[in-house]
Structure 1
Amino acid sequence: MTPEQILSGMRLPPSAMVNQRVPKKMLVESGAPTAADKRLISDGIEDIHWLAALKPVTVGIPAYQDAVRDYLEIAVLDINLRPLGKASRIAELVHRAIPYPTFLTIRCEDELCISLAHKRWAQNEADKTVLDGDFLEVSLDSSSQPDLLRQFTSALSLDQQPHLSLHALYQGWMDTVIALKAALITGVFTASLTPEQAAARHQALLHVKKLQAEIARIKALAAKEKQMSRQVELNMALKRLEKEKTEQLGLLGMENT
């Protein structure tokens, strides 16, 4: 999977395309709060490209404004990392630095990461935006299931996303990424039918991740435990966790893996 394939799947109109290189210096100056972050940007990034700018005049979708946010534009960016570049931290710095909601692809060797994050106005600083919640990300490598990735890129098409506002469009892309994250677990890609279903899927994904970590922890304890009564107790706990995991997987689109 490549950024070019993602961009092609989005099917953006020519009027939205920018294709402009962004100097790293701009990101260092606006998005690096610490000296370590400045070094990470300077040493970890090979190049940054601003691929597209989605505005009412370029895509025919209205801007969005309410008491906490103002979505006048969606930026589409691609970053090429050098080996050992920290993709998640760099993605967070980019989302914090750019005042617009950003559809970001980050590539490093054979791996491609996609991340998105809502923005809102800062409460105590005029004209400054901050992240509205955690950013959403998914990591894809060259061995990922090709059928799922083809379905995902097709679902990214602008024609298949909400057109009510730029906020609705951005949330639609976030919901599509959530559907992909679910598909990478279940093996089946199905787009969420409603925002409520997408939100439930996202919560289920977070819950499954926590359950998997707890299941691994309990299994490790059980493997070392010598007392029979304690082994029985741990096995019962595992069964409860596995049952809960099965229920959560059902919310992702299938009953089991």
Structure 2
Amino acid sequence: MTGQALTSLLISALALPVSCRVNQRVPKKMLIENGAPTSADKRLINDTIEEVQWVAALKPNTVGVAEYRDNEREYLEVAVLSITARHPAQGDGRGAAKRPANATRLAELVHRAVPYPVLLLLAAPQGVFLSLAHKRWAQNEIGKVVLDGEPVTANLTLDLEAEHPFAQALALDHQPQNSLLVLYQGWLDCVTDWHAAQYTGTFTMSDTPAQAAARREALRNCQRLESERARLRSLAAKEKQMARQVDLNLALKRVNAELASAREQL
């Protein structure tokens, strides 16, 4: 399956009502003006994005889900965007896009450029990415919206099928409907469940917000412990002193035990 085909599959999997569909092309200039703080970021957007499509706008009057407001944030709308990044061979004639786009940075820039929370589907040469990021009011600038933490992104496999439990879990009517904030968190939890499945081998949805939070914490532990395991393995491979090798191997065993325990919490 191609990246564009998978993107179309995922948009269909969202099962969005006609009432919220926009299906409008967005000029790259808007992303550059609102989400590119450096010249390198401007080049990344300009040279690697082929097309930006505004798929849908989820509002109380288009999906029947209430807006959300508190002192930290307001969710009046959730935007669904689809972006196609250029293949390296599709350069602009001036040597642009010779390497695959930095998908992680590109997704972050898109989230920063749009004032609403975004469900982003990014089809890049190295895969299709589903990315979400919460928003909140800036602390020092009245009226400005900033990211609330790092974007949560899943690198999806191109063999994903419509019958896969993850694809089915994305459907709008499978998300909590209390408010747009809670709905958006439901999609974020789906991405967490996808990451957990990379460890467990089986995709299962979190049953409650408490379970989803515990799974997020377990995932953070797994990622931290995997990084530590890689660091220890690298040190052990380079170490020449026998006593130090023993210490590193013992530390590696402890980390492996902790990692196995963290995986069980998923």
Fold match, TM over 0.5? Answer: yes
8 A contact 1:148–1:188 mirrored in 2: no
Paired with 2:212 and 2:263, the residues of 1 have a C-alpha distance of 14
Give the SS at the match of 2:164. helix
Aligned partner of 2:23 in structure 1 is: 19
Aligned partner of 1:37 in structure 2 is: 41
Confirm whether residue 72 of structure 1 aligns to residue 88 of structure 2.
Answer: no
The alpha-carbon distance between structure 1 residues 148 and 247, as it changes in their structure 2 partners (threshold 3 A), is farther
Paired with 1:158 and 1:88, the residues of 2 have a C-alpha distance of 25
8 A contact 2:162–2:168 mirrored in 1: no
CA deviations over 1:55-90 (Å, ceiling 9, x no partner): 011101100011111101000001111132111111
Which of 119, 123, 130 does residue 135 from structure 2 map onto?
Answer: 119
Which amino acid in the other structure matches residue 107 of structure 1? Answer: A
Aligned partner of 2:51 in structure 1 is: 47
Aligned partner of 1:255 in structure 2 is: none
Shift of residue 223 of structure 1? Answer: 2.5
8 A contact 2:13–2:162 mirrored in 1: no
Aligned partner of 2:196 in structure 1 is: 182
User: Comparing 96-105 with 149-158, which one deviates more in the overlay?
Assistant: 149-158
The alpha-carbon distance between structure 1 residues 209 and 226, as it changes in their structure 2 partners (threshold 3 A), is same
Aligned partner of 1:171 in structure 2 is: 185
Shift of residue 149 of structure 1? Answer: 7.7
Paired with 1:9 and 1:224, the residues of 2 have a C-alpha distance of 48
The alpha-carbon distance between structure 1 residues 38 and 238, as it changes in their structure 2 partners (threshold 3 A), is same
TM-score w.r.t. length of structure 1: 0.92
Q: Which runs of 5+ in 2 are unaligned?
A: 88-99
Give the SS at the match of 1:188. coil
Confirm whether residue 222 of structure 1 aligns to residue 226 of structure 2.
Answer: no
Which of 161, 165, 173 does residue 159 from structure 1 map onto?
Answer: 173
TM-score w.r.t. length of structure 2: 0.89
Which of 135, 138, 141 does residue 157 from structure 2 map onto?
Answer: 141
Aligned partner of 1:244 in structure 2 is: 258
Paired with 1:10 and 1:25, the residues of 2 have a C-alpha distance of 27
8 A contact 1:112–1:139 mirrored in 2: yes
Which amino acid in the other structure matches residue 35 of structure 2? Answer: G
Shift of residue 148 of structure 1? Answer: 10
Paired with 1:149 and 1:92, the residues of 2 have a C-alpha distance of 29
Confirm whether residue 89 of structure 1 aligns to residue 93 of structure 2.
Answer: no
Which amino acid in the other structure matches residue 113 of structure 1? Answer: F
Confirm whether residue 194 of structure 1 aligns to residue 198 of structure 2.
Answer: no
8 A contact 2:9–2:162 mirrored in 1: no
Give the SS at the match of 2:140. coil
8 A contact 1:218–1:238 mirrored in 2: yes
Aligned partner of 1:130 in structure 2 is: 146
Shift of residue 112 of structure 1? Answer: 0.3
Shift of residue 147 of structure 1? Answer: 6.9
- Give aligned pairs, total: 250
Which of 43, 59, 65 does residue 61 from structure 1 map onto?
Answer: 65
CA deviations over 1:25-58 (Å, ceiling 9, x no partner): 1111111111111111110111100001100111
Paired with 1:35 and 1:231, the residues of 2 have a C-alpha distance of 46
Q: CA RMSD of the aligned region, Å?
A: 1.6
Paired with 1:171 and 1:118, the residues of 2 have a C-alpha distance of 8
Q: State the identity %.
A: 53
